[in-house]
Amino acid sequence: MKKKFSVFLALMVIGFAFSAQAGEFGELRTKLSAARESLIEMMLHKEKRGADQQKLVKNTADAVSAQLAKMKAPAGKEAQFKELKENWAAFKHTRETELVPAILKGNDEAAKKIAGGIQKERYTKCQKITSELDN
């Protein structure tokens, strides 16, 4: 399971390194990746569950929320933008109320189940929508 997450993370980082664009949705994708990466790092490495990593996990998620709050839907894509915001809100809520607490309690199996399940789906959806909105 650890290998799957590592491979997934590596593929995501490589994919987004090549696909990130200069527009605000490209910036948002980069911030989404940073938020996901900081959490995966904390989840997979027990020695990275201290205050510094917890702060990084919080700050990277807050950066996504702050950028989203400043953005507006491109003309004709209001429904997609709304869906993006709703997916991110659900992702962040689950992250803060279920996933991070499970990691910090050492409940690694529950954390991996959440991260590899609904959170992975939400994250993928957010990335897909940002790509669609950037075009």
- Residue 132: predicted pLDDT: 92
pTM listed for this prediction: 0.81
In one-letter notation, the amino acid at residue 11 is L
- Residue 135: predicted pLDDT: 76
- Residue 127: predicted pLDDT: 96
Question: 45 by DSSP, 3-state: which?
Answer: coil
The structural domain count of the chain equals 1
CA distance 61 to 35: 5
Structural domain containing residue 107: 2-134
- Residue 125: predicted pLDDT: 97
Report whether pLDDT(20) > 90: no
CA distance 16 to 26: 9
- Residue 19: predicted pLDDT: 43
Confidence of residue 8 (pLDDT cuts 50, 70, 90): low
CA distance 76 to 37: 32
pLDDT tens digit sequence for 92-122: 999 999 999 999 999 999 999 999 999 999 9
CATH number for the domain spanning 121: value is: 1.20.1440
Report whether pLDDT(38) > 90: yes
